[in-house]
Amino acid sequence: MMRYIVVFWFTILLAFNVSSQKNDTSFALIYDLIEQDNYFKARAVFDSEKTSLSSEFQLVTEVFLDNAFNRLTKSNQKINQLIEAEKNLPDSLVLKIYQIKVDNSIKLFNYREAKSSLEFILENYSGYLTENQAAEFENSLKIWSALENEPAQKVFIRETNRIQMIKDKAGLDNLELFNENDTVNFVFDTGANLSTVPASTALNLGMKILSADLQVGTITGAKVPAQLAVCPVLKLGGIEIHNAVFLVLDDDALTFPHADYRIYGVLGFPVLEALREIQITSDGWFIVPEKETPIDSPSNLAMKGLTPLIYIDDRHYTFDTGADNTLLYHSYYREKKNEIEKNYPPARVKFGGAGGGKEFDGFVVSETFNILGKEVTLENIQLLKEKVSETETVYGNIGQDLIRRFNKMTINFSHMFIKFD
């Protein structure tokens, strides 16, 4: 692996024909942070070192950062600049840039462009993909191929909407969505890459089923079969959501008999992001304001693909309102290993999602989080000692146990911040 990294960087530096050692070092640091999904630190280093970087390095960096901080059109414009200028970029970097182009296109609901970029990757850069990556790309291609002729999602917000949320048996917040066919409670879940429903809900709401024969990953690493569906119209209070895309799983995959619990739907990121800003109060109100909240603090929200990341105390975490409890990962353990092993006994940690659960070696710890000047201490947080997957980069997953400690949470997808009051 170390040899690959050295060769990779040598190739990049030769391709750019860079003469400044500082330029080389700064970009290497920025790119390494991007590879670790730490866009927040990458942004800080880029802001301080930008003038010392070559124009090519600046453009490449901005492609990634604009994508992470939801400036999707700008990111695509810079990708097009790089492609049209025919810069002598190494294939390994071009591959990653095209992956960003796929992600931008998905979030802009340009499914045909997402499909085209995926086909380009598989036709020209398959040699750079691992077997698992190639399988994921092929699976993703099925999604956007199935959707390429479907209309883009549109959301219509005509006034401030205040909607009372409903707690389900698992203690998760649910929102009532409806159309002329049925009314269904959906789990509000920022951790869901795509909105998800069991087959029975798709049928009851009159969704258009698209055969895609997919395999989707779960939190445990297991794969479950899925199809796709498009819902012509769904309403959330006075908000109209047109052409939302859903993953459709077998009813059994979202049913948990041992807990007498069933999920009827999950409202995921593409719908939530389109609302621009959402506010959640401790007494269970879901608010979509007509005017967005102003803020002076630095952005602490970024996106890794369709997964929200929050920046707390110089560490980046996934942010998942569908998770009842916060969970800490291997990166956190590695950073605080001596302190953890000194103060906490080993424990078996169990967690799971759609597809089942698993147990891992770990600890049960306490931590104080500082979020935009607001402090909160959580007790009995489960910590995983080892990585759950080889692609894991974050310090953990922030869940409802932290969110519930505040009176109101604001998530803004335009200016990319999460604020607690």
Q: What are the structural domain ranges in the chain?
A: 2-147, 154-274, 301-420
* The CATH number of the domain covering residues in 301-420: 2.40.70.10
Give how far the C-alpha of residue 404 lies from the chain's centroid of Cα atoms, to the nearest Å: 21
Cα–Cα distance between 270 and 291 in angstroms, integer?
A: 20
Domains 2-147 and 154-274 in one fold:
no
Cα–Cα distance between 375 and 361 in angstroms, integer?
A: 29
* The CATH number of the domain covering residues in 2-147: 1.25.40
Residue type, 174: N
Cα–Cα distance between 274 and 342 in angstroms, integer?
A: 46
DSSP 152: P
Instruction: Dig out the tokens for 167 from the structure.
Output: 């707690």
Give how far the C-alpha of residue 222 lies from the chain's centroid of Cα atoms, to the nearest Å: 18
Contact 242/370 with Cβ under 8 angstroms?
Answer: no
Instruction: Dig out the tokens for 6 from the structure.
Output: 């050295």
Contact 229/210 with Cβ under 8 angstroms?
Answer: yes
Reported pTM: 0.84
CATH architecture of 154-274: Beta Barrel (2.40)
Full pLDDT tens readout for the chain, 421 residues: 333 343 444 444 444 444 445 566 888 999 999 999 999 999 999 999 998 898 889 999 999 999 999 999 999 999 999 988 766 788 888 999 999 999 999 999 999 999 999 999 999 999 999 888 898 899 899 999 999 999 999 999 989 999 999 999 888 889 999 999 999 999 987 777 889 999 999 999 999 999 887 877 664 556 788 899 999 999 999 999 999 999 999 998 898 888 889 999 999 888 999 999 999 998 989 999 988 998 888 899 999 988 889 999 999 999 988 788 999 999 999 999 999 999 999 999 876 654 456 788 999 999 999 988 888 999 999 999 998 888 899 999 999 899 889 999 999 999 999 999 8
